A = this chain, B = another copy of it.
Amino acid sequence: MKEIYNIGLIGFGTIGSGVVKTFNRNLDLMEQKVGTKIKLKKVVDIDIETDRGVFIDKNILSTDVRDILDDPEIDIVIELIGGYEPAKSFILRALSAGKHVVTANKALIAKHWEEIIKTANENKVRICFEASVGGGIPLLEPLNEGLAANRIKAIYGIINGTANYILTKMTDMGCDFDYVLKEAQEKGYAEQDPTFDIEGHDTAQKLIILTILGFGVYIEQDKFHVEGISKIKQADIEFIKNELGYSIKLLAIARIEEGKLEVRVHPTLLPQDHLLASVNDVFNGVYIVGDIVGPVMMYGQGAGMMPTASAVVGDLIDIIENIERPNIYGPEGTDVKKIKDIEEIKSKYYLRIIAIDKPGVLHVISGILSDYNISIESVSQKKKDEGQEVPIFMVTHEAKEKNVRNAVKKIDKLNFVGENTLFIRVLED
């Protein structure tokens, strides 16, 4: 172990400021933990003028990334600028220069995993990214280390705070999607362009990372089903909560059965007594099932300046404590024989069909479902004036996704059916 480890921080934005704040506050604790000195030697950003409201020695600020990447004294680089470029080039250059890297960049890890891990391994340096999923929640390390005795059977994650906030507020306040989204934007919980969060793309990137660690398999984002929450209406929430006694969550799911791996992101109905149903507001929760341990769950703040900084600095400490350790992420993946297509999965489904209320409607719809071998567990149709559009809510028994999709396609072509039918998968276990 060296007498001092020099750190270079690229990106002095929100998370970067949180890291500097953590150094200011807890450096004594960090150094005691690793038993050596840690020095934040250089902080690089395009903007080094704006006051971040955090104490920093002006002399360590620079706008030139070479002050970190080309400095042979810097041992560990923290990348917090996010996005693909120039973050990717910076990380690859750092790794190639024999520097260990900590990053919170989920997009980059999810997209360029193979190149990044290869470069890190070739240069015998560590790459750590605990902050990329679940913010400050110790998640990747427990999955990778604490549960190392286990073959992972399933991972279910609520890992996007924005989507979870919106669903929670729709449930608690009885407001419609658009209203809650606007409120979330005003509070800063949702971006001005919220697509990335509410359509599940952010969740998908994090799921890619969890799938590497849990199953040893890297799957590209366009290779699995990703579906967001923007089609969910207050009428759905109300029925799901009050009539069915379920909660609705945007879930990242990766699970294996008989060698077949399912990887998917979509809104999901959960029994209200499922622990994930208690993960509300902007909080994240990841529920992991191991073959030895059974279910465990990790919970906490999945984003934000300080929680994310906690994970970044945790990685930094881990690297210094285990500086010669190889990067081992996930099992070899040999348990996975096949990635299941979404059409192959089986599930219970919630259906919301909008149809004109007239005699025979339910008869026709149930006939189509029956033709596709889909049996109905419960159905509910609120009375309105005949001839008006009315929602029909249904829950099916377990059915094949392919059949449900085909049945819904057929139902949506019926002339008395209005807007497209919504179907949401139900998780029972």
Contacts and interface: CB of A to CB of B under 8 A. Distances in A.
A117 B332 CA distance: 35
Contacts of A145: 138, 141, 314, 317-318, 321
A313 B138 contact: no
A292 B26 contact: yes
A136 B331 CA distance: 19
Nearest to A313: B149
Nearest to A141: B146
A325 B331 contact: no
Contact of A142 (B26, B138, B326, B331): B138
Nearest to A325: B321
A290 interface: yes
A293 B300 contact: yes
A331 B146 contact: no
B325 A313 contact: no
B136 A35 contact: no
Contacts of A25: 151, 291-292
Nearest to A139: B146
Number of copies: 2
A31 B333 CA distance: 14
Interface size bracket, A side:
35 or more
Contacts of A138: 138, 142, 145-147, 296, 298
A306 B294 contact: yes
Contacts of A30: 148-149
Contacts of A26: 149-151, 291-292
Interface string A7-32: 00000000000100010011001101
Given A292-B136, A317-B145, A299 B299 contact: yes
B295 A310 contact: no
Interface string A322-350: 10011010011000000000000000000
A197 interface: no
Nearest to A274: B278
Interface of A: 18, 22, 25-26, 29-30, 32-33, 35, 130, 136-138, 141-142, 145-151, 273, 275, 278-280, 290-301, 304, 306-307, 309-314, 316-318, 321-322, 325-326, 328, 331-332
Given A293-B307, A297-B297, 13 more contacts: A26-B151, A26-B291, A29-B150, A29-B151, A33-B331, A35-B328, A142-B298, A148-B314, A149-B309, A149-B317, A292-B313, A293-B311, A294-B306
